[in-house]
Amino acid sequence: MSRDRSVWLRRFHPAAGADGAEDPACELVCFPHAGGSAAYWRRLALELGPAVDVSAVQYPGRLDRLGEAPVEDLHRLADLVVEALGARGDRPLALLGHSMGASVAYEVAVRLARLPGGEPRLLAVSSRRAPSAPGKGHGDWPRNDAELIARVRKLGETESALLDDPEMLDVILPALRGDYRALASYEPTPGRPLGCPVVALTGDRDPDVPVDDVRGWRDCTSGEFHVHVFEGGHFFLTDHASEVAGLMRGLLTAPAG
């Protein structure tokens, strides 16, 4: 599988310094939810640019990577993203992940923290239980396509019209199946492996992620920790993109420390 950065990352605004754009002080790498694509982060990227250079991860098995098989192991997926990110210059890196993407971002942060000077400036996690929160049992994960579709409808991950279209389902389901298999087998890296600040975002009516389970992210870092609770469900970001962009802009454009 390719380790080329251009294969894995998408931008929705001019690159740093291009076409007169100011040179941002930080790069923010965003990780989408199960079944999601880099396009999920387009609005946030446009709101943050050019002050923050936003890149969104494109997982295999969707949109322009539709011909590739999904990666059904979140640890393997994190390894591949770290390899694609490659060596960095002086500009700091921050990570933001939503739902499944929060777990991938966390595992990427853990791997970067093991490299000399590699730890990200910030890890932001959205709509995801903390690694220390009680996990789902085997019977809690979808056992067939009908249960998977019902779960996706419940969380609002995909428009109902797409789920009702048999041709679109043929396109969507392989990535969803692969991502949920990865989630079902995922065991988070334990302990407190990070020293960077961690910010947890969540909706107050998320049917899948209780606010108390989000607060447990404080156990992952020896650095600062904050929780921001928004009105809404699992996909509160859709209605609060501007507020989240403002929060991230404040965190990432302020002087480090």
- Tell me which H or E stretch contains 98: strand 93-98
Q: Which residue in 2, 37, 55, 99 is the catalytic one?
A: 99
Sign, CA torsion 70/75/78/83:
negative
Neighbours of 140 (CB within 10 A): 10
SS3 254: coil
Helix (H) or strand (E) holding 200: strand 198-203
User: Which pairing describes strands 93-98 and 225-230: parallel, antiparallel, or unpaired?
Assistant: unpaired
| Cβ–Cβ < 8 Å for 55, 28 | yes
Is 132 considered catalytic here?
no
For the beta carbon of residue 255, count every other beta carbon within 10 angstroms. 5
Q: Which of 108, 133, 122, 107 is nearest to 206 (CA)?
A: 133
**Residues assigned a catalytic role:** 99
